[in-house]
Amino acid sequence: MGNIMDKSKGAGEPVNQDAFIFWKMLKKTYDDPEKLLDHFNSFMVDQQKNLQKMDDDEDNVDSRSGGSVTESPNLHIPTNPQNSSNGKNSNGTSGGENSDSNYVVIGQIASKGDNKLIASPTHSSKISFAYTENPQTEQLNQTMLQTINCKLQLIPPELNHFTLNLDNHVFSERLFLSICATIINNNKNYQNRHLATTLKESPITTVKKKKIQQEIDQFIQQYYFTLTKLSLKKTMLSHRSVEALSQALAMNRSIVELDLGGNELECRGVALLLSGIRENKTITRLNLSDVRAYDEGAFMISAYLMATKSIRIIDLSSNHISEKGFEALKQAASRNIHIQSIYLYENNIDQPKLHSLQSILTRNTCVQGVIDHLLDQIPWNRKIKNRLQSFKKSVMQTRTNSTLNISQEDERTPLFRLLSKQSQLQLNAGANGTPSHTIPESESTRFKVGKSETIGKRPTMEDRMVTYGSYRGDTESELFAIFDGHGGRAASDYAADNINRILSEHLQQQKTPEEAFKLTFTQINTQLTPWPFIGTTAACAYIHKSHVYIANVGDSRVVLGRMVKQTPIVHENNDNDQDNTQTTTTTTTTTSNETKVTIQTKRLTFDHRPVEDSERSRITNAGGTVLNGRVNGMLAVSRALGDSFLTPYVIPEPYQSSFEITSEDKFLILACDGVWDLISDEEAVLIVSKISDPEKSSETLRDLAFNMGSTDNISVMVVKLNDY
């Protein structure tokens, strides 16, 4: 007896069940263009184009408004579609970029007196495809749909998966985005496929025959298809299409082979693609031959290869890669034993150097073969799995004092990694060999401190703040610190839980605070080395009597707020290579009796970002590169604790400064980049200066950053040094 899907198939449709589900979902998605972009996140490639178009249309808005502008609903600006011609794709362009002539930009008038077109907040960087394609493009789309249908009909019905080969075909963006949206819609059902198995095999008797056609769309939404290979050679993909494909692949768990050879992706397209497949766990074969990657693309690909555990074979032939890009790929292969083949034919690389890479790949293949053989010899039956889970729980119970406690991941952690984590307990052992416990935080007896934080729009909270009053038993010493983790919260947790103990040990050895901070950061970084893909920024303030010592790595900041009556007094800058970043600005206000007060702002830290000239030079001199504002195209900060996979480009050496507290120094603000990306130092100091309660002022900064659109975790600490 057949199932529901068999009874709903008509003539001229795929006979393979997975192919049939894909075809039905694709047709439904394509026939509803107005909702097409709802399946995607906003496209980065559209943001710059929208801003440029808004500037170009500003004068037109002025002329249509007749000199007076009032608030109006969304304004649709139609454009004239252009016919496609020979040598061009369906959007009227050749090569990798598409013209905007076929699209409608959606926006609205900003406000009275401001004749400026701004993007709609719900579609700030999206393009509407509704009713904008010309007849020639629609005819091309229908022809391509028929071609796809014919290919799907050739798939044998007995297979429980299918492959999609669309080589040497040209797509309009609407059709290609429909394919990507179909994959995105399927990803959720595929991840829940074990729950959907019963439904997929439901017999025809479970549903009345007369209702099958009426309810087929409802069943399609609950079914899934298994697509294992996607081949898109020489399909002239635009950057927007590549980004749509990247979003589709990010959460896909069925595709194991992806072929994009012959597409002129260039460095920008490679970056867009890697942003999605970096999260993919199933692709083992990747063809990026003849995509014009050059050395910059090779740097980004090598950074991706260092992190991935799924890729086994990658083809980078005919990409104009020189020896500099080759060295980056070689380093990636030496660090990742999962990579077994890298094809580099027809690149600018000497043959002897290729032989050196071959030896590394041979080693990887042998090691991986031994591991696979050992795993194949183990009888993974249900009883052993149950015993393994029980053993995991017992291992986790012995790790209650572990500073790297990642309980949410323990159930998915392989046994050998759990045992490795257990062995790392010795990192926290004191001189007597017993594990040291986390030192509890304590309040300061001299300064009032306010702390506020929120997870914001992130799925997890990776920030940590700690305050230690009466530090080291001294009522005239305090330690304040803030950490912004990335790759999980393990690194920030470890740093926050151990900085008290490690810094104290170095201070007890008669080290100066500057030396102690440098040694502390180095020690924490070393202890995080076994976990190469986690890291954290750090911003610390150690106060001893009236002297303040500041140290930071990354882009978390410490800012000093001062109030000076009449004549402002500015502290001298510390001797440091980056002193020019510590600028002091003033804002003059008046009190009720007209007494002039100058509010001064001084940044005490340095933002370690790859775009800074000094940091860029250091990275390039070490053999790394800065791509898209990131170290090797991966990390947005150039100094951090952890991130050992980017050593020696990312280092833990802190920037340091110090000053003596005077009566004019009123407060310190410690905050992560979730605040500073949207609020300037001067704005933050001005806000805090008007609120005497540090708890309320920290909450105000936190809420302001969130309301301004911060998408990161937000953490703020305000330390009140003197009354104001």
Q: 137-151 pLDDT, tens per residue? A: 888 889 999 999 999
| Structure confidence at residue 459 (pLDDT) | 86
User: Over the chain, what is the mean pLDDT?
Assistant: 76
**Pairwise pLDDT comparison (534 vs 407), residue with the higher score:** 534
User: What pLDDT, on a 0 to 100 scale, did the predictor assign at position 233?
Assistant: 94
Give the pLDDT score at 406: 39
Q: Which of 264, 273, 326 is nearest to 304 (CA)?
A: 273
Does position 119 have pLDDT exceeding 70, yes or no? no
For residue 230, the number of C-alpha atoms closer than 13 Å in the C-beta half-sphere is: 21
First to last CA, the chain: 83
Interval 464-481 mean pLDDT: 93
Predicted local distance difference test score (pLDDT) of residue 377: 65
Asked if pLDDT for residue 182 goes beyond 80, the answer is yes
- 382-441 pLDDT, tens digit each: 455 555 555 544 444 443 333 344 344 444 444 333 334 444 444 444 434 444 456 788
Q: Which of 29-33, 91-95, 211-215, 505-509 has the highest mean pLDDT?
A: 505-509
For residue 286, give every residue at least 6 positions away whose Cβ sits within 8 Å of its Cβ, in sequence order, or none: 257, 258, 277, 311, 313, 314, 315
Where are the domains positioned within the chain? 1-228, 382-418, 448-572+580-720
pLDDT higher than threshold 60 for residue 175 = yes
- pLDDT of residue 261 exceeding 50, the answer is yes
Is the predicted pLDDT of residue 192 greater than 90, yes or no? no
Q: Tell me the C-alpha distance between 720 and 669, whole Å.
A: 9
**CATH fourth-level superfamily of 448-572+580-720:** PPM-type phosphatase domain (3.60.40.10)
What average pLDDT does this structure show over 485-489? 89
Mapped to the 3 state alphabet, what secondary structure does 133-180 carry? CCHHHHHHHHHHHHHHHHHHHCCCCCCCCEEEECCCCCCCHHHHHHHH
CA 583 to chain centre: 31
Neighbours of 158 (CB within 10 A): 8
Give 273 or 594, the one with higher predicted confidence: 273
| Cβ-contact 495, 536 below 8 angstroms | yes
